Structure 1
Amino acid sequence: MKFGKLDMQELTLKECSFYPEAKAMVIAEYGDLRFNYLNDNWTTKFTITRRIKIFTTEGKNQANVSIRLYDPVDGGIHERLSSVKAITHNLVDGRIEKTPLNQSEVFRTRLSDHRTEISFTLPNVQVGSVIDYEIILISNYLSVLFPWKFQKSIPTKVSEIRYVIPEYFNYITSQLGTSIELTKETNSVHESFKYKWESEPGIGGNKAVAIGAENSVSKEQRFVARNILPLEDEPNINNKPDLPARLEFQLVSSQMPNSAVKFYADNYESFTKDILTWESFGKTLDQGAFASPAIKELRADSVSDLASAIYHWIQNHFSFTNEYGVTNNKAGKIAFNEGSGNVPAINLTLIAALREAGINAYPIILSTRGHGIPHPVYPNYEDFNYVIVGVKTEAGLILADATTKLSFGTIPERCLNGKGWLVDNEFGQWVDLKKEAHYSSEVSINMTLEETQITSELHITHKNYAGVTTWEQVDSIGATNFIQEIDQKLSDWDIENFNIKSGTKESKEHFEFEITASRAINANKRIYISPFILGMPLENPFRRPERVAPIDFPYGFEYRVIAQIKIPDGYSAILPESGVFKLQSNDGSFIYSTNQVGNTINLVGIFKISKTEFNPNEYQNLKQFYQLVTDKNQELIVLNRL
């Protein structure tokens, strides 16, 4: 494929042959990365050429193109746009009409102190258009090469990337994301670079310096994928940035002509030492003198109690600005005096206060749900976007986040994402963020069958993250709308009473409410009763025949329903069969028990899943288990009049 050169078949294409429902498709894309040496500096030149076919109105959003670049405000390492050209092709009266992109419509926006975004929109895009664009990027950021994503939100017919790496550089190549079939070729390419070199110091500390042409037997790697299905939204999907099938390159070492080997791949030990020297991070942690007067007024019998008291003091003092981050120059006294701040301003201030009280407290940096998973071996500061607090107590390590109104020891669901890195020169380690996370729902149902109606009294108790989720829902939409949502779930029933029985904003991990509901029946006919009217899954969320993305639950969970149904004399009951069912891996179970004693029918359902992450190859097992559970929960009790 050559930029701007296409044939009539591409313009008359009506659908994607291997994914007919596509709104648009990548006909072909090619990437080419090569090294250059100029003015004593190595750089890479990355050329991306892409052609996209638009099938529907919704597919026209593919004309909006953006590229994020590593471009720190301070420092000499940058990625930059060298050139961009783009053309929209339309078929008009049997001939190809081309509309080029005006360079004045290419925009650069600073997103943060480390990132800028280049964006443009191709002109005159219509249903049936074919768009071409070619981007050239230049970078002297050699530690990590530009990655290549084979998979996108639309299908891709051909995706090819070629990397030519001089023999002086040793990179680790990683194929990440969903599994796709790649064709790989490796060849040797002879290149020549004008290179300035320095020898190691000799006798007297003298160095030899010279400039000459150096030949390199460079390694050319070519990867090709075809007919790549798009990434789609699916239930319990998390960390979309990690999902696309892609290649990443990490620099391990280099050896320039007449020079010694240099190692570049960082590790978490050196990463920790570095960020603990930052004024906006490590230097804030022992600046807690501002908290000393308040700490003297606190009374506690244990480290846990004192830490909890300081946590609630900081928590109640601050107003959260809803901004994430890892570093903040104001953390400590300045942030405390201002009374509001982002995540690091509040939580680094909490650590300083805890340390002032003699408590071992540490920052734990993490990536929130949906932001991706940090590399477990090679640290990258940009992998992290949040910091919480780890407190060492007699009960073990307790995690806390004072930006929330949660109890001491509970972190928000947004933080339940894999592992976080505890930053300390002595105790640095990965911390499982989901270890203490659990969701518990208990529903007690008492049904009474009368001549013309069934009356149900429900008592619902939500604990742990079930309580947190319910409280946040009520806070967000209000009690009235919350009741309406419950009413929709009980569509066959008339709610006569709704009462929030217990739970306070100071204890969001517990929420209780009661419901009284009824529905009319015809006692002269056979009566069908669905016993689990609330508290159990009734539909299988996993419906697709296959899945390419991992299943990620934020926590393990347990749903428990106990139902008791009283029937009058003169009826016989046909009950669903009892059973015990388990996932093949024993990471989930479902207990369903029924019996009748006199005029009382008793049912118990307990649905548990303890594992939080399932690989795509475990999908069928999980899907079948869910189907069994939902089918069983929909089975009816049949009452026949004698």
Structure 2
Amino acid sequence: MKCNQLFIILFFTLFFLKGNAQEFKLGKVSVEELQEKNNPTDSATVAAILFEKGAVDFEYNQNDGFIMITEVTTRIKIYKKEGYDWANKAVSYYIGSNAKETVFFSDAITYNLINGKIEKVKLKSDGEFDEKVNKYWGRKKITMPNIKVGSVVEFKYRIRSSRFSELTEWSFQSSIPVNYSEFKTSIPEYFVYNPNIKGFISPKITKENSNKSLSYSYRSEARPGESVGSSSSQEKLEFLETRTVYVAENLPAMKEEAYVNNIANYTTSVSHELSVVKFPNQPYKTLSTDWASVTKTIYDYDDFGPELNKTGYFEEDLKVVIAGLSSPEEKFLAIFNHVKETVKWNDYYGYSCNDGVKKAYKDKTGNVAEINLMLTAMLRYAGLTANPVLVSTRSNGIALFPNRTAFNYVIAAVETPKGLVLLDATDRFSTPNVLPLRALNWVGRLIRNDGTSIEVDLMPKAPSNDVVMMNYEIDINGQVSGKLKRQRTDYNAIIFRGNIKNVKEDVYLEKLENDNNKIEISEYSRTNENDLKFPIVENFSFSSSNFSENIGGAIYINPMLFFAVEQNPFKQENRAYPVDYGFPFIDKYNITIKIPDGYKVETIPTPLLLNMEDNLGGFKFMINTSGNSIQLVLTHQINVPIVVADYYPMLKEFYQKMIEKQNEKIVLKKV
């Protein structure tokens, strides 16, 4: 009897579990999924990926050889109107001159629960779009129909490609929660890929080998007097295939935090790059196993190393540019400025030349590689020791693993007795060792003539300054009026110059007024806007009645006015990512305040000195009164470009104390 009861309980338990287990197949949307109002693990999320599965396989045909097929199936739940964008999907594909790709969407359906019944609406042709992004890339997009709060959408897309030097990077995490993520690769033994996993969550990995075969027609060379067709035969080739499955479940949303250069650097993902090709009866072809082989491979590309040796297009111009110059510093600065003034960047990234350095110089426009490889060649012509440096931009992610796609940018470096001088002629406001912010991404790889390489630290060491000198007075009604001078150097200067480029002064001033509590600005001037040897300086007069309060006959005012930071940028309790400022900096404020006649200082903030551990940074707030004026000197200093996550609690507390001090008020009372 007990055995029968146990059997019945076990049967119904298994039946219940089977009936409630989520089906990771398209077309199996459940009523429960449609009824779900909020995500069980993140009630605030606007959408969630219920499952996403990717599979990479290789097909073979006689004409094209191996073709890589990537198939992705996805199901997404929409919880809020703000999540409607998740009902759209865009897939990029290569349309360059050689190995082209194609993308096909299918099984795209929107599900809604209407009066207790599941309603399905299929994607129609008017919801599918194909566009050309540039000469290298196209993009196919779908916009799912009939989206409502509560909808579930699912779709499949398939990419056919002969570009299998790398597999699609698979991200298990997203900016919304992911319930289930699976990536499967089935790779013939002829291709060896290096898998690289990054992120803070480890997927479960299983691997197995199986025997496969393919058929092809073989035609031997015809002997004299023999017809060509008589030697054709059908052959069968057996090979080993390795199947690897990566699975991760219940992944939290990757949320943006302050001072993160690229959230993708810390997102759990797996990438694969081809390292060895070993076809039968052919020698091994090694592509990339370490940084040395990666950089050697890149240097040997026709559109990289050989471009450095092209001559006959700049020599006559350069003789004029460096005439009379003797020191290396004078020469590289003159050549650097010549390239910046002569060839404009066309906004294309890449370490490979498109049309080549000669055409770029002739047409006065080129991509990153054409401009900076041209710069390197000119520096060498002038007798300087110059080499290209491969870089991964901040948007491309940190170059963690040896692979050719780790980099997407190149700059120039000059060796001097004082060390390397890094140059990027794509930005008109860049100066020696002050690169555009996009290129400040940990480390690069310098490649010498022989293809050998060394690691180069790209992160700045010297602080960039932002110095404000402000004098203002307060009248008896709390009206503030004064003058301000602001001076920016190095990275603060290059960022500011870039922000104001092509912006009309009246538009800039309107924004400046609105961004600073609607102050009124007059007598505005700007100096050294294009003279990069000097700091860029702003001067203006200002007035406002928005910075003080009159309570019980006393005037309350924040001495920092519109420069006071009100909220701590670090809101998370804990942080897994480093804090990336991009560059060290010193923000300094020297403020003099004149108090109105008939008033005296009743309350003034107390001075404060904060220093972080290991000399990471500090804060100094010094204030005193003298007669009818108040003098404030405030310094906020960060000494390193990147603060590792271990220091996050200390950094968060440091900012909280600094902000509290900045927002303490002066109280002025009638005499």
TM-score by length of 2: 0.80
- In the alignment, the residues of structure 2 paired with residue 339 and residue 397 of structure 1 have an alpha-carbon distance, to the nearest angstrom, of 28
Aligned to 2:11: none
User: Residue 286 of structure 1 contacts residue 355 of structure 1 at CA under 8 Å; is this kept in 2?
Assistant: no
Residue 176 (str. 1) matches residue 204 (str. 2): no
Shift of 1:481: 3.1
> Are 1:149 and 2:171 an aligned pair?
yes
Structure 2 residue aligned with 1:50: 74
Equivalent-residue separation in structure 1 for 2:632 and 2:614 (angstroms) = 26
Contact 2:485 2:539 in 1 (8 A): yes
Alignment of 1:540 with 2:562, yes or no, is no
Aligned to 2:541: 516
Distance, in Å, in 1 between the alignment partners of 2:236 and 2:500 is 72
Aligned residue in 1 for 2:155: 133
Higher mean C-alpha deviation, range 586-595 or range 335-344: 335-344
CA distance in 2 between partners of 1:429 and 1:621 (Å): 35
Q: What residue number does 1:14 align with?
A: 37
- 2: CA distance between counterparts of 1:220 and 1:466? 48
C-alpha change, 1:576 and 1:86, in structure 2 (3 Å) is same
Query: Hey, what does 1:379 align to over in structure 2?
Result: 404
SS in 2 for 1:507: coil
Structure 2 counterpart of 1:466 = 492
Q: Is it true that 1:186 corresponds to 2:214 in the alignment? A: no
1:2-401 equivalent positions in 2, closer than 5 A: 2-33=25-56, 46-69=70-93, 73-74=97-98, 81=103, 84-101=106-123, 111=133, 115-137=137-159, 144-163=166-185, 172-177=194-199, 179-180=200-201, 182=203, 184=204, 186=206, 188=208, 190-193=210-213, 220-226=244-250, 228-250=251-273, 264-297=287-320, 298-380=323-405, 383-401=406-424
Letter in 2 for 1:9: E
Q: CA deviation at 1:89?
A: 2.2
Q: Distance in 1 between matches of 2:625 and 2:367?
A: 57
Match of 1:635 among 664, 667, 671: 664
The answer for the alignment partner of 1:579 in structure 2 is 608
Question: Shift in Å at residue 580 of structure 1?
Answer: 1.8
Deviation at 1:302, TM superposition (A): 0.4
1:402 to 413, 425, 429: 425
Describe the shift of the 1:475–1:36 C-alpha distance in structure 2 as closer, same or farther (beyond 3 A): closer
Q: Residue 310 of structure 1 aligns to which amino acid in structure 2?
A: I
Q: CA deviation at 1:395?
A: 4.2
Q: Does the 8 Å contact 2:77/2:150 carry over to 1?
A: yes
1:420 aligns with 2:444: yes
Query: 1:38, CA displacement in angstroms?
Result: 7.0
Give the secondary structure class of the aligned counterpart of 1:498.
Answer: strand
- Give the C-alpha shift of residue 440 in structure 1: 1.0
CA contact (8 A) 1:289 1:356 kept: no
Partners of 2:127 and 2:344 lie apart in 1 by: 40
Match of 1:504, SS state, is coil
For residue 552 of structure 1, what is the aligned residue in structure 2? 580
Give 2:231's aligned residue. Answer: none
Give the whole-Å Cα distance in 2 for the aligned partners of 1:448 and 1:89: 64
Distance 2:599 2:264 in 1: 62
Mark the CA change 1:437 to 1:329 in structure 2 (over 3 Å): closer, same or farther. Answer: farther
For residue 590 of structure 2, the aligned residue among 562, 574, 580 is 562
Gaps of 5+ in 1: 197-209
Contact 1:498/1:513 (8 A) holds in 2: no
Change (3 A) 1:258 1:135: same
SS at match of 2:636: strand
Deviations 1:605-637 (A, max 9, x none): 110112223445544333322222111111122
The SS at the match of 2:523 is strand
In structure 2, the gaps of 5 or more residues are 1-22, 217-233
Q: Within 1, Cα distance between the matches of 2:240 and 2:144?
A: 40
8 A Cα contact 1:29 1:50, kept in partner: yes
The AA in structure 2 aligned to 1:526 is A
Q: CA deviation at 1:250?
A: 4.4
Q: CA 1:492–1:318 in structure 2 vs 1: closer, same or farther (change >3 Å)?
A: closer
Deviation track 1:226-279 (CA, whole Å, cap 9, x = no partner) reads 1x2223343323234434321233455688899998755343333333333444
The answer to whether the Cα contact below 8 Å between 1:444 and 1:563 also exists between their aligned partners in 2 is: yes
Find the residue that maps to 2:514 and give its secondary structure: helix
In structure 2, the residue matched to 1:502 is: 527
Q: Which amino acid aligns with 2:535?
A: H
One-letter identity of the residue aligned with 2:290: N
Q: Matched residue of 2:337: which SS?
A: helix
Give 3-state SS (helix, strand or coil) of 1:87's partner: strand
Could you say what the CA RMSD is over the residues aligned between the two structures, in angstroms? 3.8
In the alignment, the residues of structure 1 paired with residue 241 and residue 364 of structure 2 have an alpha-carbon distance, to the nearest angstrom, of: 60
Corresponding position: 1:624 with 2:650: no
1:204 match: none
Q: Would the alpha carbon gap of residues 82 and 463 (structure 1) be closer, same or farther in structure 2, given more than 3 Å must change?
A: closer
Aligned with 1:467: secondary structure? helix
Counterpart residue identity of residue 656, structure 2: Q
Kept after mapping to 2: 8 A contact 1:151/1:244: yes
Q: How far apart, in 2, do the equivalents of 1:493 and 1:215 lie? A: 74
**Counterpart code for 2:663:** Q
**2:554 corresponding residue in structure 1:** 526
Letter in 1 for 2:593: I
Q: Letter of the aligned partner of 1:15 in structure 2? A: N
User: Matched residue of 1:514: which SS?
Assistant: strand
- Determine if contact 1:569/1:599 at 8 Å carries over to the other structure: no
Distance in 2 separating the partners of 1:43 and 1:346: 35
Deviation track 1:19-76 (CA, whole Å, cap 9, x = no partner) reads 223322222233345566776966665543221122334433323223334675325x
Tell me by how many angstroms 1:312 deviates: 2.0
CA contact (8 A) 1:51 1:133 kept: yes
* Offset at residue 118 of structure 1 (A): 4.2
Worse overlay, 285-294 or 151-160:
285-294
Secondary structure of the structure 2 residue equivalent to 1:65: strand
CA contact (8 A) 2:47 2:176 kept: yes
Gap change, CA 1:47 and 1:544, over 3 Å in 2: same
Deviation at 1:413, TM superposition (A): 2.1
Alpha-carbon distance in structure 2 between the residues aligned to 1:361 and 1:239: 30
Encode CA deviations 1:270-312: one digit per residue, 9 max, x unaligned.
Answer: 3333333444332222334333333333221301101211222
Paired with 1:253 and 1:314, the residues of 2 have a C-alpha distance of 39
Q: Which letter does structure 2 place at the counterpart of 1:88?
A: T
In 1, Cα distance between equivalents of 2:274 and 2:352: 26
Post-superposition shift, 1:400?
2.1
Q: Counterpart of 1:159 in structure 2: which amino acid?
A: S
- TM-aligned CA distance change 1:457 to 1:132, over 3 Å: closer
Asked if the contact 2:294–2:402 (Cα under 8 Å) also holds between the matched residues in 1, the reply is no
Q: Which amino acid aligns with 1:628?
A: K
Please give the alpha-carbon distance, in whole angstroms, between the structure 2 residues aligned to 1:29 and 1:347.
Answer: 41
Q: Given the superposition, is the C-alpha separation of residues 36 and 491 from structure 1 closer, same or farther in structure 2, using an over 3 Å criterion?
A: closer
Which whole-Å CA distance do the structure 2 matches of 1:219 and 1:330 have between them? 41
Please give the residue correspondences for 1:486-501 in structure 2 after superposition, counting only pairs within 5 Å.
486-491=512-517, 494-495=520-521, 497-500=522-525
From 479, 482, 507, the equivalent of 2:505 is 479
Farther-moved stretch of structure 1 (569-578 vs 148-157): 569-578
1:441 aligns with 2:466: yes
CA 1:376–1:556: 2 relative to 1, 3 Å: farther
How far is 1:5 from its partner? 1.9
